[in-house]
Amino acid sequence: MDGRREGASLAGPEGFDWLERMQPAGGSGGPGLYAVIRTRFFDDFLLDACERSGVRQVVLAAAGLDTRAFRLDWPSGTRLYEMDLPEVLDTKEAVIEAAGARESCERRTVRVNLKEETWPEALLAAGYKAEEPSVWLIEGLLFYLPEAAVHGLLDKVTTLTATGSLLGLDLMNRNLLFSPMAWPQLSALAWRGARGRFGTNVPEALLAGHGWEANVTQPGEAGANYGRWTRPVAPREIPGVPRSFLVKARRRS
């Protein structure tokens, strides 16, 4: 089975229905498009780290039902760690088994609560080597965490990474967190127990505070467009605009 088919069988009809529902009637855009752009952006980021920078350790924090271990064409020797809550990874194993999907790298699952102090030990026990270069992805998580938990998580990632390691993550800004325009979506998330809690207008400063040099792109800008984002993107100098950010960062010495 090729990677594309692996991804489709793992997403299942529910995944495609969700994407359909997230498209505004008769047009493009909406949360579905954000998810599509974000996925491709970080697919390229992770593969680039492995192919061009020679990294062979990939860590997906809060991996959820991420299908990259199955979908992407990883260079040989790549070891990919998926961290998430035990019940989520257990459910995922059942989905993988039902789909008959095969990973295209060495995949290791690490059942942890990322709010607890002890998760780094579990990752190390699974074989991760902190002294070797790595690429990390924290996708779809930081928005939902209290600020102290965001800093706690980033501190630990910094402790676990060698100079030159790479980190991808997505963030919302403060204006989005409090935007009346985003209210229907935010309240629907809150109703499902996933309230938005964290936003920053300056991802560069957040990452610098933890020892990382960040490169920040807004969905729709060059490098995160893929010919799909048709609406204009407000430059960052314009204040008061709700925004999301796709961040690539490099660990400073």
Ligand X SMILES: C[S@@+](CC[C@H](N)C(=O)[O-])C[C@H]1O[C@@H](n2cnc3c(N)ncnc32)[C@H](O)[C@@H]1O
Q: By C-alpha distance, which of 46, 89, 57 is closest to 160?
A: 57
Contact code string over 70-109 relative to ligand X, x by CB under 6 A = --------------xx--x---------------------
Q: Which is nearer to ligand X, 88 or 95 (CB)?
A: 88
Site size toward ligand X, by CB under 6 A: 13
**Contacting ligand X (CB under 6 A), which of 64, 120, 211, 242?**
64
Find the shortest distance in angstroms from Cβ 1 to ligand X: 21
Residue 19 binds ligand X (CB under 6 A): no
Please choose, out of 16-24, 95-103, 122-130, 135-143, the segment that lies near ligand X by the rule CB under 6 A.
Answer: 135-143
The dihedral through the CA atoms of 149, 154, 160, 166 has a sign that is positive
Please choose, out of 93-101, 113-121, 183-191, 207-215, the segment that lies near ligand X by the rule CB under 6 A.
Answer: 113-121
Residue 115 binds ligand X (CB under 6 A): yes
Q: Which is nearer to ligand X, 12 or 241 (CB)?
A: 12
Residue 22 binds ligand X (CB under 6 A): no
Find the shortest distance in angstroms from Cβ 230 to ligand X: 23
Hey, how many other C-beta atoms are within 10 angstroms of the C-beta on 99?
19
Hey, how many other C-beta atoms are within 10 angstroms of the C-beta on 38?
18
Residue 139 binds ligand X (CB under 6 A): yes
Find the shortest distance in angstroms from Cβ 66 to ligand X: 5
**Contacting ligand X (CB under 6 A), which of 46, 63, 80, 135?**
63
Q: Which is nearer to ligand X, 197 or 228 (CB)?
A: 197
Q: Which is nearer to ligand X, 113 or 163 (CB)?
A: 113
Residue least distant from ligand X (Cβ): 64
Which pair of structure tokens corresponds to residue 136? 């990390």
**Contacting ligand X (CB under 6 A), which of 11, 49, 62, 101?**
62
First to last CA, the chain: 41
Which pair of structure tokens corresponds to residue 114? 């990322």
Residues 6+ apart with CB under 8 A from 11: 67
Can you give the binding site for ligand X, defined by CB under 6 A? 62-64, 66, 84-85, 88, 113-115, 139-141
